[in-house]
Structure 1
Amino acid sequence: MVAMRQSARLGQLAGIPIGVHWSVLVIMLLLVQGLAQLILPRGAPGHAPAVYWGVAVVVAVLFLTALLAHELAHSLVARHYGVRVRSITLWLLGGVSQLDGEAPHARADLLIALAGPLVSLAGAGVFAAATAAASASGAGPLPVTGLAWLAVVNAILGVFNLLPGAPLDGGRVLAAVVWWMRGDRAAGRRAAGRAGMVLGGLLIAAGFAEILLSGNLSGLWLSALGWFVVAAAHAETTDAVLRKTLAGVRVGDVMTTPPTCGYTSESVGGFVAAVVRHHPHRTFPVLDLDGRLVGLVSLARLAKVPSADRGRVRLGDVSTPVDRTGVLDPADPLIGAAPALQAGGHRLAPVVSDGRLAGIVTSHDVARATELAGLGVTPDRGGAATTSGSQAPADLGR
């Protein structure tokens, strides 16, 4: 599923870390405004603005709770089948369950995908029943309107997510069905990706048609959603191809060794003159005097140091600490590192073995491994996957 960095941690549910992305604030503001100024006044006129805003906040929180239930259903079913769940993050377009691994078989993949939409549809039923109960008990039009809106929105959420195209849950259902029928996981993911790009294109076209035919700019939201679906579907298709192409390839098979590095004690000016200008990388590992990896330094960070200060500022002062960077092991599957490296274009990941820097992997290494696979050749750096820390980097900038 799509990766999403948490901006704030809310706590844990069933042992799963729950967090939110900053974009949740955007959707909350839009929901509360729409409810307080349009939906609630139309359904229950005659109340003070403060009442509408208060009820709108409660309804919006219930909606986010329903989104969380949707994602929690995915996560609990995934965990039932042995897939570790790293976290759940709520964001602008819903939620993301970060799963560490893949379903063991097609049936598990299908049930994991279906769990979220089924919970949303069940939630729609619960809110619909609550709407009927509130109406029958004479609770008044304001709570009835809020509950009815929650019923309709949860029904829309469940049905929309079942549309057959990645990255929607329906795309994962399609992928699981194709995998089940053909016995090929990668073929299922490719089919879901292609379907997602078609679906996204239709959403974009529908949004523009709404703008042209009705003059309603709300079609921009539909087009924006279609663009997101196309982009995410393309990413999933690319990832499916990579997984098939790079199956069995380890980080140590493609890493560059010995790595080009800098030391914490050397000056920015000296490092730029002696190393940076002669090498193609945009990011470099930084070691301490004992040869241990302490962080990474990028050209962008170096450029922020004023020219007059580059002779006295040390690399250790401007490097990003190693605990904030992704560190790989030579035995790691390359496919695990490939998406992040390719997304950054020129990103670099250090490879550490036995506590020592063994090499580096860049997006160029991933591209080369992919092209070699097209030739039917597996990358081989002469047993680099077993490189140990006893081999000191031979190309160190001092």
Structure 2
Amino acid sequence: MFGGIKVGTLAGIPFFVNPSWFFVFAFVVYSLATSQLPLWVPNQAAWVYWPLGAFVALLFFGSLIAHELGHSLASLRYGIPVRAITLHLFGGVAQLGREVSRPSEEFWIAVAGPAVSVALSALFWGGNVLLGGALPTLAGAFGMVAMLNIGVVLFNLVPGFPLDGGRVLRSVVWGLTGNYRRATWIAATAGRLVGLVLIGLGIYLAISQNDLGSLWLALVGWFLVSLAKQSYQQAVVLDTLRKTPVSEAQVRLITVSGALTIDELFAGFISTTGRRFYLIEDADQPVGVVDAYELTRLPRHQWPITPILSLMKPIADIPQVSLSASAMSALDTLEEARTPLVRTVEDGKTIGIVSRTDLVQLMRHAHPSRA
């Protein structure tokens, strides 16, 4: 959802900064330097609050990264890959390689982030207490970071999806009812209500207090409403994939000889069947899969002399799923292996192929509705 500039890697997880983050960083520094820090660290020259504000902001956003890293490490513990962690306009997000498969996974992954923020708050408050006498300016900065982390915890534990509290709510309802879609609908509805309250509060404060900065609340509320709606739509799709056998998404493979040239494959098979993928046999053994689209990239004059065997994708390089598995299993395999294709197998024999396009077509039949 959020692209960005790669700034490093930790625990095998790449970190990115979305360009929108620089705007919110500047806004936070301005707010800290002009209104918050003068209260926490009084009697300083005005210029001191600007570098101090930048220092506090960096510690705060570093804390947000640690918060997301908490989610990420918990995800890895459950075998869920983490694609990236990105800082953006509204905070941070950990991009997981697949969705959770059990309520317990959802619960522990959700609470891991706030747990890290609580620990960081305690750490920074301890620094505030210890340094209060010797280095009051630094102590005040640490105290501010501690309070900001507590704010992150309180906000994220609001029971509205996609906030951490909303994910906890979904895990509890999911665990009690066994219904993933209904649990998501309840959590997402709560998330939309939270978003609408923030929109209303932001607009009210902007008008009644003549504080345009309060419109930030309205913007965050709009963001939550949008994400909650998208999250439920995604849940409907994923629930459909879990309940749909992969056989309904697959394209059965036609077996052809690897000795055929591209010309012969087009004349004898592609022109009559319209199929895109073919299983190639060599010495009566399946050895690979050829993609008709890829063949067309070769200059036309080479088609009569180029055997398809030389352009195939080796069958060992294509991940497999059981023909009895769900379409969700195929999607998880595609995501984890970062491959465009997965083959279906029955009794050790390759039966068909599933591409991302096949799954997209299947998902288009899933229409969001109330659970």
Normalised by the length of structure 2, the TM-score is 0.68
Q: Deviations over 1:163-217 (max 9, x none)?
A: 0011101110001001111122222222111111111111111112222332222
What is the Cα deviation at residue 334 of structure 1? 7.7
Change in 2 beyond 3 A, CA 1:90/1:192: same
Change in 2 beyond 3 A, CA 1:51/1:176: same
Does residue 1:370 correspond to 2:366, yes or no? yes
CA contact (8 A) 1:251 1:330 kept: no
Q: Which residue of 2 aligns with 1:212?
A: 207
Equivalent residues, number: 292
Change in 2 beyond 3 A, CA 1:26/1:131: same
Amino acid paired to 1:370: A
Determine helix, strand or coil for the equivalent of 1:83.
Answer: coil
Does residue 1:89 correspond to 2:67, yes or no? no
Q: Which residue of 1 aligns with 2:76?
A: 79
Unpaired segments of 5 or more residues in structure 1? Answer: 256-285, 295-327, 338-350, 375-398
Q: Which residue of 2 aligns with 1:57?
A: 54
Q: Please, which moves more after superposition, 190-199 or 179-188?
A: 179-188
Determine helix, strand or coil for the equivalent of 1:149.
Answer: helix
Determine helix, strand or coil for the equivalent of 1:86.
Answer: strand
Alignment equivalent of 1:291, drawn from 270, 290, 296: 296
What is the Cα deviation at residue 122 of structure 1? 1.9
Q: Which residue of 1 aligns with 2:188?
A: 193
Question: Which runs of structure 1 show a deviation greater than 6 angstroms over 4 or more consecutive aligned residues?
Answer: 328-332, 334-337, 351-354, 357-360
Q: Deviations over 1:351-395 (max 9, x none)?
A: 7789xx999949994575236x99xxxxxxxxxxxxxxxxxxxxx
Q: Which residue of 2 aligns with 1:226?
A: 221
Q: Which residue of 1 aligns with 2:20?
A: 23
Determine helix, strand or coil for the equivalent of 1:369.
Answer: coil
Q: Deviations over 1:204-246 (max 9, x none)?
A: 1111222233222222111111111000000001111222234
Task: Give the aligned CA root-mean-square deviation in angstroms.
Answer: 3.6
Q: Which residue of 1 aligns with 2:239?
A: 244
Alignment equivalent of 1:124, drawn from 121, 124, 127: 121
What is the Cα deviation at residue 150 of structure 1? 0.7
Q: Deviations over 1:235-267 (max 9, x none)?
A: 001111222234426598399xxxxxxxxxxxx
Cα distance in 2 between the residues matched to 1:197 and 1:11: 34
Amino acid paired to 2:296: G
Cα distance in 2 between the residues matched to 1:214 and 1:83: 46
Q: Please, which moves more after superposition, 80-89 or 359-368?
A: 359-368
Cα distance in 2 between the residues matched to 1:28 and 1:190: 33
Amino acid paired to 2:195: G
Change in 2 beyond 3 A, CA 1:160/1:336: farther
Give the % identical residues: 33
Does residue 1:253 correspond to 2:258, yes or no? no
Does residue 1:138 correspond to 2:130, yes or no? no
Q: Which residue of 2 aligns with 1:4?
A: 2
CA contact (8 A) 1:250 1:330 kept: no
CA contact (8 A) 2:29 2:57 kept: yes
Cα distance in 1 between the residues matched to 2:42 and 2:128: 18
Cα distance in 2 between the residues matched to 1:336 and 1:230: 30
Change in 2 beyond 3 A, CA 1:159/1:44: closer
Normalised by the length of structure 1, the TM-score is 0.64
What is the Cα deviation at residue 114 of structure 1? 0.4
CA contact (8 A) 2:40 2:144 kept: no
Q: Which residue of 1 aligns with 2:258?
A: none
Unpaired segments of 5 or more residues in structure 2? Answer: 252-291, 300-317, 332-339, 344-352
CA contact (8 A) 1:208 1:223 kept: yes
Q: Deviations over 1:103-133 (max 9, x none)?
A: 3421121010001012112211222221111
Change in 2 beyond 3 A, CA 1:105/1:147: same
